[in-house]
Amino acid sequence: MRDSEIIPSFRRLQAFDGVARTGSLSAAAQALRLSQPALTHSIGQLESQLGTRLFERGPEGTFLNGAGQILQRRVQRFFAQIVDAVAHAAGRPADDPALEALSARIGSAQVRSLLAIWRAGSFRAAAASLGLAEPSLQRPARELERVLGASLYRRSAAGLGVNEAGGELARRLALALGEIRSGAEEIGAAAQSRASLRIGVLALAPRILLARATGPLLAHHRQHKIEVIEAPYLRLARDLNDGALDLVLGALRDPPPYADLLEEKFFEDPYAIVCRHDHPLTRLALATPADLARYEWIFPTRDLPRRQALDALMLAWALPQNVQFETSCLTTITAMLSTSDCISILSRWHIELDGRSQLARIQTPVAPDAPRHVGITIRKNWLPTPFQADFLAHLRAAAQGLGARA
């Protein structure tokens, strides 16, 4: 995962935050109970890691430069999320005055061990992934339990791994670390370095939206990178909730499966009954249920919303539900439809805008389902980098153009 690229020393971030808040090396050193040389060394190491200076130093004090101001906003969000994560794991109220001191006791080694166990599924697999002996991983992992006074691990058939509380703490810590990664990307982008964006895309999402948004964006930002991952909805929603994705594009679930996710509607994208472009049903002004009953169906798998829509339609129209061929693969559905008299259910934009010229929409008395909307799903507390915000502006403009054609 991306936050494994940057798991900085929490002490260095605390040193940076102290100087940023006070504008003074000596005042920050006193507040953090460090010697001034030790504080200066920590900041120097952080600047070296980021490849840039963060402060302007002079006789009147030590003040943030442009890069430092970018990082400070992210560091403040980082520590606020750490405090929230600790409050949740330790079962303490959010306004507990002891939370900041408790959070300050958590170190990067403890967080690194927890994240590795969470992702690998067990202590043994995590130790192997980090190239460590298992006892070397267990020490910081168990120390984190002692600091929080909470159980984070349990034994299962796969070995010793995180329990529910440990998994939720790991997820929240991963999101917090994402703030530092985003800050590093913002600083790098300002110096013409690479920024990134990871998009989850559902199978029926209109690809033309991505094309219209990313084409002009990447032409302007040639050094940046966009990665698109297509997968089933529940996997994408989980990865978004965990911070492994920045947004998901496709049909909205309303509500999403996680409380921290937020949906934004773009336009309606209803289901349609489809066939090959020269199918006998395309010559009918309106296909009746009796017309549809004469043909075999290609069924979506039962875990897909369009299967639920098709099952409801068949029940309402008393159509025979003889399931001979069932698949979630769109390329297989397209190939089967284009070479046979079979019919199936897809979305309107998938047929009309994404280059499926071999398929056609069958006109039916009513739509196969209630309104279905395409849009994006993001995390409620997500703060996009400038590059990510630029992409969102392009995507919303493209969606507005497509929505006008609906």
**pLDDT digit string (tens) for 38-55?**
999 999 999 998 989 999
Give the pLDDT score at 111. Answer: 95
What is the token pair recorded at 381?
A: 């507390």
Give the pLDDT score at 139. Answer: 96
Burial class (CB in 10 A: 0-12, 13-18, 19+), 131: exposed
Residue 216 has pLDDT above 90, yes or no: no
Average pLDDT over residues 222-231: 91
Average pLDDT, the chain: 91
Q: What percent of the chain has a predicted confidence (pLDDT) above 70?
A: 94
Give the pLDDT score at 189. Answer: 64
Give the pLDDT score at 284. Answer: 95
Strand partners, 250: 375
Distance between CA atoms of 247 and 240, rounded to whole angstroms?
6
Give the pLDDT score at 1. Answer: 33
Residue 355 has pLDDT above 60, yes or no: no
Domain 2-171 of CATH type 3.40.50.11540: no
CA geometry: angle 345, 348, 354, nearest 5 deg? 110
Q: What percent of the chain has a predicted confidence (pLDDT) above 90?
A: 78
Domain ranges, ordered by start, for the chain: 2-171, 194-268+373-403, 271-362
Give the pLDDT score at 351. Answer: 82
Give the pLDDT score at 5. Answer: 47
Yes or no: say if 300 and 310 are a contact pair by the CB < 8 Å rule. Answer: yes
pLDDT band at 188 (very low <50, low <70, confident <90, very high): confident
Residue 370 has pLDDT above 80, yes or no: no
271-362: CATH class: alpha beta
- On the question of a common fold for 194-268+373-403 and 271-362, the answer reads yes
Query: From 2.40.110.10, 3.40.50.300, 3.40.190.10, 1.10.8.60, which CATH number describes the 194-268+373-403 domain?
Result: 3.40.190.10
Nearest to 389 by CA among 402, 376, 400, 371: 376
